[in-house]
Structure 1
């Protein structure tokens, strides 16, 4: 209902508007403040420096980018901030004008991503405490902390001894608060007149005691005046004479604090009025003094510091601003220290001064909130960008809880799993951000029954003043409640009040959940933990080659295209004149043509394909903002990442053990869950130490014609060829230096045969195991200049591979009902219905009641009805709330009776919703009834081909003589302690013996097995493994003499020494 509202938290506000404001105002302000403080203490004897702050400029030079998707293009990934400097040499009076590069910081591309080291990354926003006043209490000490911009904090403390002080802990300053107010021009009369405690003895005795402080100040008057001035630089007073004398060069000259709505907060909570001017005046300081006295005498209570109204969103700009201080100070010191050198060559120094520019690359690469962008599908990219970090403190359990102030502001279910549970959260479906940084949620305001309503947005502080209820959520009628009682929220508590039809404020239940949660139909009939798992699984689903739209949808599938930056929209109204897979041309009303170029077969961060497909035809009239091209996850402008398949809840020969699933072989033959992936091989051709280059050639020895069948005459694989494992990708070799002792032989061969000896080293590249596919793109880059790494040619091979379903892959529904494929059955062996429908997936029926997934059953039952009716069902998650508690029950009954005209096996008078099946092998009717229907399933990115690795032959370790570990080293299977237990439980004694001896480090048994296989020798018992000899050698390294004894076969009682253990 509220999906028409703009979504501005991430796409617009924090990624464009704030960035422009930062470039226009905040960066100039920050640079001016910091440089003015640094340059005060600059004193160069031989040079005079003048910084031109008015002409501070940005450099937009273009650079070659190393991103794999932006080859041979010019792109500027950084902004460069330059300041013009006038340098005068005082010895020879020469004047130099040059631009000094202060810093570099990254740009955002049109999708809101940061490109670092050629990889797309995104920034995870963080919730921090907002600017304002916060009151705390620790062991009878009351504090009022004022948080300014740039994390500047001033603390006013009321101690146990009734002393009140104002402190700045960053500068290590602490001054009496009354003395500070006198310093900025507030007299005792003004304190008594404006304070609520003006007539109290408590305040008057305080003012009298303050005379003693002036005696202490007069002893060190210079130090104390300096401290008072630094504290006063944070405030603006009414004393105009003080303002004239006050220096503007002090840091943090901040007058405005009301960016954080201090007026609204203090009005709501403490009941006194702030003035309309958004600055701190003397009246505000007196009010803070009154509040500390109120807290001391328990007249008011402390508020929740973790209230959502006290939070602000820290974005990428705040991270840049926090690092500007360090980088600017380092750059200015670099300039000054080099100018102060006596033997400096000024012309050479000024020509190379900008070659050592500092940037944020190092900080960004190690920052935990700048993460590798998840590009598995469009939904995963959206959810990754809308991720929020609540706190970095892992110890506090209270921060992980859901607060009433977060209702409608953060998703109540969607969070990270594991150690960050409750700390990493997500935005709800629709949330707005105003110019003050407040987050607002749309609410429904209705004044009269059966009339239209209006939508207003409220923040967390305004929500506390109203009775808020979920959309028409009635409580069940019983002895305690009548029909019109409803569950409501008021002042952070649950209440049950009678529902007033004439005036109510409600929130749609789908508005308090994230985007991924709202893609789950019948969400309120499921356990929240399984809904969380279902949302996570959808973000891990792979785009498929052949996909279908779900038979039951929630309506949010089409909204993903509006939230996603990757989808291409029409920038003007017009008629499509040209539409292909790489280009779309639209002619507008003024006869102007605009071309849209589509990127095909791009390389994502998760090795999936990003390919655009046009959805408009030539001659079609498109509107402004209409979607004209979509990616692989969409079908007809709707998010479709899976398939509707027939599912049977039952069992088959025990293969459904522990949530495993049995699939029909037709899913593989028809490519139902097949997906495309891309691997990239990057190969460099370089020079050796003696400038002999690596050469590619087809006529390379050692390889037969079959391995070289895909190579061209230059020894490089051709585009479009099918590459299998161990096939040659590039045939290249290098000439090594011939040893000096073969010089005579070389001359002899040259006189006889006419050619010289050549020492050739083969450096060819082959396809690794498990990466066979088709070469879809070949890119070559030549370098005219010889670089430091001596590369003269770079080759990039993009190999596309099609992944079919295998035993061990994961399939998942929308309700968290995931399972690993345990068996692939022939279609003729599966049970079938009366109309010859066999299931595509068989899963255990025990997993439904134990997980409390009723929505899973509703989808299975209703999807079968829509399959026969050839329709789709758009169902709202607020179904029962709008139409009554029995609406879903009547919906199921009415449509099943309609389907009964087409097929009477779905609903019958005996067992509603269940069917009888026949055995696929015998044709007999199976005992019992089964739930057979349709469900929407997806394929997860956790594929078995990327995880399981095995070998038959391969390298051994030279020390332990055991097989190497790791897939890249062609390692073998690693059997640890728990794997041994598993084999012991099944009594697999011979398998264990084989794993620990022949397949491990028993060298003699290995040779004996080889003789047995080749020459039919007899097998012998196992010998002592090599790891035991290794342990003995390590003990000998500790100067321990180890002797061994064996029992004689002739006389069992005799022991004699042997050196069997010594090799």
Structure 2
């Protein structure tokens, strides 16, 4: 079924799929906003805030009482003030966009009853932007959601000794000691407290309040019974009475386990029957190990085992057990933990009870026994009923708790150290530094606070919907096994089975499914339609994973009759993680839509259902790497999700209220509402994203247009008329072409370069600061020593490059001089100095230059200065200058391109348009792809997209084919036949046509599949990767060249490369590679001189790596000597190295490792740079 639907602004698409969407997609970034609001409650009145987030934390820490109890600080309420900066100011000045938090507290003197109420400052909390991100130190960051194991109880069966099973129950609190109950094959039930020491479980039960062993046995269903004394039947059981001899002494105490000796005593006493406990044998074996009978003894036993070196006193033991389990500050199940315990154990304890109760422990022990008997099932820790989402609010709460506890400790210490507390104020006692430090640490260096991926709007959205199993309290890459990474049946509709990284993080970093939501306890929910007696209603419920497990759930596109009843007599449903067939009357729920299974990124892939999952994964990930192009174009073949992503990404400007557009230009749009109010929207122009792509908005409305609330006013980068537009629609042909598309390489037409089809703008930021050094302040100036006027032509009077200048590698962007160490003066200089006063101090050139291989046009300059503008700069920094360079990058050989189906490749050649293969009507194709890239990859979606794209182009349509319920192959064939009949008689219905060779005009031998595919240019651009070096920095220890483009390093000539040269017998090349081109310090210096002077190159010397090896062996105490050619033996000679003295190196104080290595390099190759007679100018052409 297909019909035309409006998408974006003034864009119609032919929509293949159900006409009615019952549930609208939720706001894609709602989880971030929801969580931060939960934490701060900014919209609630200060006196009416719920006990959650920050409010709960402050209520938990306060009141703070002095050690003697005479003074107490009470918390009353907190206020959130508006931010002092705007978002834009924070970006420009590299500051954190934050809002001040104040709290009202009372200092109460209990002796006099005096109450001092005052306001204190609690710190600056970052503001969440409309997009769900934070501006931290001027850069946009995102706090990723953590998928962590939930607090609660978990039953499991593990294999101990061969063939023996150990039954376990683990109680995981929100904070505090973990308890692990073990039932071993010897029938002993022990409990491991906090992974430190094991105690008998019966002792713990008594410490929790069971009065004695008799009550304990009765609690677990023990009944007394009289039994005949038969050794085989009674040995090992518990006796239920004291056995007293004729002298009145107790010979067998009650509740003892009967041994062979005990049976003999019973026989000798002349008795024929004895009272025994009828109870699980576990308790007999456990009580035999547990020598305690009362709660006090049990506490002493726990204390003795946990703290073996401390004196055994009942008070100490009671205090210890209390602090371990009954102090809410140290042990807390948390709201979620209590909820999970109640659900798992079938209890009905109030949610306010956050400690373990005796009922919990008794039910858990019974649960272990049931697990042993097969009456209870073990828990699956990878099930989403047992994993919960911790978002920014809760993660921040946990971090700030640490800061508040430090603050509390400081306040208590100050209460004891301040001599006269009666005159003190709360302000004197409370130090907010630990809170600020906790906030700074969380947003700055937590594993979950990440540099936002802003490559394109899809990357933005996906980053904010990401789930990570790593982070504090989570898994690590090394520890995570296969099970934790694997797709689980409970992921259905909650976590996308496709979108996950390919590397070591596979399965640990995932993405939220389209319709997934998080409930109040942090568990993921998925929407379902309710089914009543075969009738599928329009009622929608959100179910957590444990509830869905028990229900019978059918697929979304199940056939229904006109009344909405299920037609099938046997229905395939999901139940408890597997697929079963049931009659329709048994079905409880139906999925809302097939696309609820996947994430936003996967839902943008048309014909996803025809792609192999591995390739779909690559397709999802590569869409996030697409570079926004200068001319965006939405896909001919979409899925209907494009508008939603563009809307929720925050890249576009949407109308806040209905009205008429009264003013439009490139920088602002004004909309006048019906009330006559004017809303002004300012557009972002050419802002650099975190990844160096452009953030840019352009208006799509005209003056006089009427807009409704939520209508698109301006497109963002990679958005076309309100639809996501990551790439371009190009005419592709699947055929080989002279081997240029071997191994997934891509052949392009020159049209794509000339017409700027794949041209993108990239902005790079370069920064320099002027600091105070030991030798004096650095200065930003145009007056730079030894620099010619031609190098200064683009600098203004302050020494900063002008906007609009074209610069290349090595050009000066900001002139800077730093004071140089004073050199020893000759007596003549001293005399002149004494006469004429202080001579101008020596300075050296430390200007900011365009790095090697870079360049572009200066588009912006930002200057921050402590003295001139009063900017808040780090200590020791007086001025910061940032220069932004823009580059226009056309598509070129070596760039990476991809489709949406994981079909990636590198551009191998760009052909003139006239040489490209062309269609019978003369149209040259744009891209030639290798047909061998399809069959083995099993991503047929790209072929179907190509054919449907051909249909859409020739019919003048844009189409949308939603995942799993889109257009059928037969339907596409039908449309192709129409086109064949109408205009292209050579066309086959599967999209093949005769192509002609552009060079000869001859037809190719076979028909070729041709059509329109949406192809993306990815951020892996050859301009950022290409790199070359002759001389450069060397490692300080091995003296070998550094590696990598960022270090200006060389290419490693490794072990296997050595084998290759050895195989060819190229001994001289090999010797050069391993000596003068690498770590023979003297040799490379002499070689450089020889080349400069035009002399022959001398023989190589001893490589530094050999000296390092000798030194390492000497460090192990081995006397290593060398055998020389003349059979003499000696030590490796210590050559005098032409290196600047350490003292001079220290005076220079290089700012970075790179600079440090570079200074060493220049000294070695060019002599001392401070020496005016150095032979070669380091900035000259010879370098």
- Assess, with a 3 A threshold, how the Cα gap between structure 1 residues 501 and 897 changes in structure 2: closer, same or farther: farther
**Does structure 1 conserve the Cα–Cα contact (< 8 Å) formed by 2:527 and 2:592?**
yes
**Does structure 1 conserve the Cα–Cα contact (< 8 Å) formed by 2:206 and 2:212?**
no
Question: Distance between the aligned counterparts of 1:547 and 1:492, measured in 2?
Answer: 43
Aligned to 2:56: 29
- Deviation, 1:423, is 2.3
- Deviation, 1:298, is 3.4
Q: Return 5+ residue gaps in structure 2 as ranges.
A: 1-20, 226-276, 301-312, 560-566, 1136-1183
Q: Write out aligned runs for 1:118-517 (5 A).
A: 118-137=138-157, 144-150=169-175, 169=194, 176=203, 179=206, 202=278, 212-213=293-294, 216=297, 222=315, 226=319, 233=326, 260=339, 265=344, 274=348, 288=364, 290-337=366-413, 340=416, 354=431, 356-358=433-435, 359-360=437-438, 361-390=440-469, 392=475, 394-445=479-530, 453-472=538-557, 487-496=572-581, 505-506=590-591, 508-517=593-602
Aligned to 2:643: 558
Matched, 1:613 2:698: yes
Question: Distance between the aligned counterparts of 2:598 and 2:636, measured in 1?
Answer: 22
**Does structure 1 conserve the Cα–Cα contact (< 8 Å) formed by 2:770 and 2:777?**
no
**Does structure 1 conserve the Cα–Cα contact (< 8 Å) formed by 2:384 and 2:523?**
no
Aligned to 1:109: 129
**Does structure 2 conserve the Cα–Cα contact (< 8 Å) formed by 1:848 and 1:854?**
yes
Question: Distance between the aligned counterparts of 1:84 and 1:1012, measured in 2?
Answer: 77
1:979-999 Cα distance to aligned partner (Å, 9 max, x none): 456778899999768756775
Deviates more, 1:809-818 or 1:948-957: 948-957
From 1101, 1106, 1109, the equivalent of 1:1026 is 1101
Question: Distance between the aligned counterparts of 1:176 and 1:964, measured in 2?
Answer: 63
Question: Distance between the aligned counterparts of 2:691 and 2:475, measured in 1?
Answer: 27
Question: Distance between the aligned counterparts of 1:224 and 1:328, measured in 2?
Answer: 29
Matched, 1:49 2:130: no
- Assess, with a 3 A threshold, how the Cα gap between structure 1 residues 135 and 581 changes in structure 2: closer, same or farther: same
- Deviation, 1:624, is 2.2
**Does structure 1 conserve the Cα–Cα contact (< 8 Å) formed by 2:993 and 2:1010?**
yes
Aligned to 1:893: 973
- Assess, with a 3 A threshold, how the Cα gap between structure 1 residues 463 and 711 changes in structure 2: closer, same or farther: same
**Does structure 2 conserve the Cα–Cα contact (< 8 Å) formed by 1:64 and 1:73?**
no
- Assess, with a 3 A threshold, how the Cα gap between structure 1 residues 97 and 202 changes in structure 2: closer, same or farther: same
From 834, 844, 855, the equivalent of 1:772 is 855
Q: Write out aligned runs for 1:1-16 (5 A).
A: 1=21, 4-7=24-27, 10-16=31-37
**Does structure 2 conserve the Cα–Cα contact (< 8 Å) formed by 1:195 and 1:287?**
no
**Does structure 2 conserve the Cα–Cα contact (< 8 Å) formed by 1:906 and 1:912?**
no
From 828, 832, 848, the equivalent of 2:914 is 828
How many corresponding residue pairs? 1006
Q: Write out aligned runs for 1:684-723 (5 A).
A: 684-686=769-771, 689=774, 694-697=779-782, 700=784, 702-723=786-807
1:68-92 Cα distance to aligned partner (Å, 9 max, x none): 86225986536656563648899x9
TM-score (norm 2): 0.74
Aligned to 1:816: 902
Aligned to 1:933: 1011
Q: Write out aligned runs for 1:1008-1019 (5 A).
A: none
**Does structure 2 conserve the Cα–Cα contact (< 8 Å) formed by 1:710 and 1:721?**
yes
**Does structure 2 conserve the Cα–Cα contact (< 8 Å) formed by 1:186 and 1:282?**
no
Matched, 1:977 2:1055: yes
- Assess, with a 3 A threshold, how the Cα gap between structure 1 residues 1009 and 292 changes in structure 2: closer, same or farther: closer
- Deviation, 1:690, is 6.4
Question: Distance between the aligned counterparts of 1:831 and 1:1062, measured in 2?
Answer: 67
Aligned to 1:876: 962
**Does structure 2 conserve the Cα–Cα contact (< 8 Å) formed by 1:464 and 1:492?**
yes
Aligned to 2:98: 77
Q: Secondary structure at the match of 2:371?
A: helix
Q: Write out aligned runs for 1:723-872 (5 A).
A: 723-733=807-817, 741=825, 744=828, 759-784=842-867, 789-872=875-958
1:685-706 Cα distance to aligned partner (Å, 9 max, x none): 3456565662513x65644443
Q: Secondary structure at the match of 1:70?
A: helix
Q: Return 5+ residue gaps in structure 1 as ranges.
A: 235-248, 268-272, 475-481, 881-886, 1047-1054
Question: Distance between the aligned counterparts of 1:218 and 1:962, measured in 2?
Answer: 64
- Assess, with a 3 A threshold, how the Cα gap between structure 1 residues 164 and 595 changes in structure 2: closer, same or farther: same
Question: Distance between the aligned counterparts of 1:62 and 1:683, measured in 2?
Answer: 28
**Does structure 1 conserve the Cα–Cα contact (< 8 Å) formed by 2:1076 and 2:1087?**
no
- Deviation, 1:601, is 2.5
Question: Distance between the aligned counterparts of 2:280 and 2:693, measured in 1?
Answer: 74
**Does structure 2 conserve the Cα–Cα contact (< 8 Å) formed by 1:550 and 1:644?**
yes
Aligned to 2:604: 519
- Deviation, 1:558, is 0.9
Aligned to 1:883: none
Tell me the C-alpha RMSD between the 2 structures.
5.0
**Does structure 2 conserve the Cα–Cα contact (< 8 Å) formed by 1:217 and 1:224?**
no
Aligned to 1:477: none
**Does structure 2 conserve the Cα–Cα contact (< 8 Å) formed by 1:150 and 1:322?**
no
- Deviation, 1:618, is 2.5
**Does structure 2 conserve the Cα–Cα contact (< 8 Å) formed by 1:833 and 1:917?**
yes
- Deviation, 1:408, is 1.6
Question: Distance between the aligned counterparts of 2:297 and 2:492, measured in 1?
Answer: 53
- Assess, with a 3 A threshold, how the Cα gap between structure 1 residues 803 and 186 changes in structure 2: closer, same or farther: farther
Q: Secondary structure at the match of 1:25?
A: coil
- Deviation, 1:514, is 1.1
- Assess, with a 3 A threshold, how the Cα gap between structure 1 residues 803 and 1010 changes in structure 2: closer, same or farther: same
TM-score (norm 1): 0.81
Q: Write out aligned runs for 1:926-965 (5 A).
A: 926-951=1004-1029, 965=1043
- Assess, with a 3 A threshold, how the Cα gap between structure 1 residues 521 and 223 changes in structure 2: closer, same or farther: same
Deviates more, 1:949-958 or 1:312-321: 949-958
- Assess, with a 3 A threshold, how the Cα gap between structure 1 residues 997 and 188 changes in structure 2: closer, same or farther: closer
Question: Distance between the aligned counterparts of 1:155 and 1:1061, measured in 2?
Answer: 64
1:617-646 Cα distance to aligned partner (Å, 9 max, x none): 322222223333332021111000101112
**Does structure 2 conserve the Cα–Cα contact (< 8 Å) formed by 1:7 and 1:432?**
no
Q: Secondary structure at the match of 1:850?
A: coil
Question: Distance between the aligned counterparts of 2:1106 and 2:213, measured in 1?
Answer: 82
**Does structure 1 conserve the Cα–Cα contact (< 8 Å) formed by 2:1025 and 2:1045?**
no
Deviates more, 1:288-297 or 1:629-638: 288-297
Aligned to 2:1001: 923
**Does structure 2 conserve the Cα–Cα contact (< 8 Å) formed by 1:257 and 1:278?**
no
Question: Distance between the aligned counterparts of 1:729 and 1:961, measured in 2?
Answer: 31
Q: Secondary structure at the match of 1:862?
A: helix
- Assess, with a 3 A threshold, how the Cα gap between structure 1 residues 89 and 67 changes in structure 2: closer, same or farther: farther
Deviates more, 1:517-526 or 1:658-667: 658-667
Question: Distance between the aligned counterparts of 1:50 and 1:540, measured in 2?
Answer: 56
Question: Distance between the aligned counterparts of 1:766 and 1:645, measured in 2?
Answer: 40
- Deviation, 1:392, is 0.8
Aligned to 1:640: 725
**Does structure 1 conserve the Cα–Cα contact (< 8 Å) formed by 2:173 and 2:334?**
no
Q: Secondary structure at the match of 1:464?
A: helix
